[in-house]
Chains A and B, each alone.
Chain A
């Protein structure tokens, strides 16, 4: 007699963590040809301590043993690593799928043909404006033309369904239809993600993050377009408006996803590059698996959470207090509202936070020619010891369809 097909909901299964991540973000290098003002990882210059080719292969071997389905490769600009293609081939040959994010600089016709020929590689081209004017103000001069050229090469090579990845800002939120038109033109799929105050994003968040009115506009647009547009479950804080957006709304940080940075440091999520969210390093004894399975930080993130100040809010079941990283880098307590709380609680909370009290990112690899002011990172205030229900707003299970058996 078999047990009936009724068990805990998937969210319950995942909130206590899995023995291995489902997928993870792996930033291969801090080197980048661009200097986007909102870069999550404050990239620009290569770090001399970055993992060698042999060390990267060893990480891939481990991911294969752990049956991690795929890695989201980013940076920096990952394609500027001389061994980029070698590592991609190594990963796919070892049954670790690859999705990588690029500004398109190296996607020439030959690279596009190579990508179109593999079932195990997916590509995301970053674009933050539907016009050169809006895009280049954030990503730098010429970056729009570079991205569009890469898209053309991919389309001409027959790569169907590559992703165009847009960080929604105050400046481009009025261009959503135009982004969709660009994606349709290239046979690509539009992917919208949330601006986070992480990395250099902390410096521009005040000017770039959508206004309350724009958040509503974005929500309505997302509801209208449903599953045609991917979001990585970025916007679950908007679910508090009413109708839930597609996705499971479980923060996967340290539970089912994590970040490996270019020097091998393992963080709970890609938006939280800060010592407070550092679980260990893949160069340590036991490698990545030991960090994933034994880190105290991850064990902590896998314990049941409470809603803190948000718990009594009627929307708490929808938004779960929002994003840990967004709160952390805006200086808000982790057990309180998200800075972009649609009920306005975040704005009120922010008005009581001194602008100097927000923690600074732990590292900075920005190009020196475009200096970004960095202060010595203060330890987070006491309130940061508390954990939110959901540590990350990029759901590894976005638009996931709960499986057989209900």
Chain B
């Protein structure tokens, strides 16, 4: 019954100013604490710890940059580093990926 998921990659720097998107093989399930994410390719489970982060992640694909997705979701400037770190972790585990053309 296990997900047998594996650890995600290291938290690298995250480029807030480029376009990103949810990985096409990732399924998102909203939860009261935020959301659960499951990647069908890597068979990894991850989760979003707040509804605001869910809003950011859900809007990545339509925003010109991650920074703008955060701003549209009402993320304050002081909170941006925490969101960038969260997004870096998601990128490290391939939950989100860089969008090549917008």
Contact = CB atoms under 8 A, between A and B. Distances in A.
Given A3-B52, A13-B33, A25-B1, A404 B86 contact: yes
B102 interface: no
B83 interface: yes
A270 to B, nearest CB: 6
Interface centre among B8, B37, B43, B90 (most CB of A within 10 A): B43
A405 B53 contact: yes
Interface stretch (A103-111, A225-233, A359-367): A225-233
A403 B4 contact: no
Interface string B15-40: 00000000001010101011011101
Contact of B29 (A5, A25, A67, A269): A67
Contacts of A204: none
Given A67-B27, A401-B7, A401-B93, A7 B50 contact: yes
Contacts of A397: 2-3, 5, 45
A72 B8 contact: no
Nearest to B35: A403
B100 interface: no
Interface in B25-82: 25, 27, 29, 31, 33-34, 36-38, 40-41, 43-50, 52-53, 73-76, 79, 82
B6 interface: yes
Contacts of A342: none
A18 interface: yes
B85 interface: yes
A95 B34 CA distance: 21
Nearest to A228: B6
B87 interface: yes
A2 interface: yes
B50 A70 contact: no
Nearest to A74: B1
Given A67-B27, A405-B50, A122 B1 contact: no
Nearest to A25: B1
Interface stretch (A126-134, A279-287, A388-396): A388-396
Contacts of A7: 33-34, 49-50
Nearest to B36: A22
Contact of B86 (A24, A233, A399, A405): A405
Query: What's the dominant secondary structure at chain A's contact region?
Result: loop
B4 A69 contact: no
Interface string A239-272: 0000000100000100001010000000001100
A230 B75 CA distance: 38
Interface string A9-39: 0100100001110111100000000000000
B48 to A, nearest CB: 6
Contacts of B87: 404
A22 B3 contact: yes
Contacts of B37: 403
A6 B43 CA distance: 26
A399 B43 CA distance: 12
A269 B15 CA distance: 43
A398 B47 contact: no
Contact of A392 (B1, B5, B25, B53): B1
A405 to B, nearest CB: 4
A119 interface: yes
Given A2-B50, A400-B45, A403-B46, A119 B40 contact: yes
A54 interface: no
A97 interface: yes
A120 interface: yes
Contact of A69 (B29, B31, B52, B74): B29
A237 interface: no
A24 B1 contact: yes
Contact of B27 (A95, A191, A234, A252): A95
Given A69-B29, A403-B47, A398 B93 contact: no
Contacts of A371: none
Contact of A399 (B5, B25, B74, B85): B5
Contact of B6 (A13, A25, A227, A395): A227
A401 B5 contact: yes
18 contacts: A1-B76, A5-B49, A5-B53, A20-B29, A22-B38, A70-B40, A72-B2, A95-B27, A97-B43, A99-B43, A230-B2, A231-B2, A232-B4, A234-B2, A399-B6, A403-B48, A404-B87, A405-B49
Interface of B: 1-8, 25, 27, 29, 31, 33-34, 36-38, 40-41, 43-50, 52-53, 73-76, 79, 82-83, 85-87, 89-90, 93
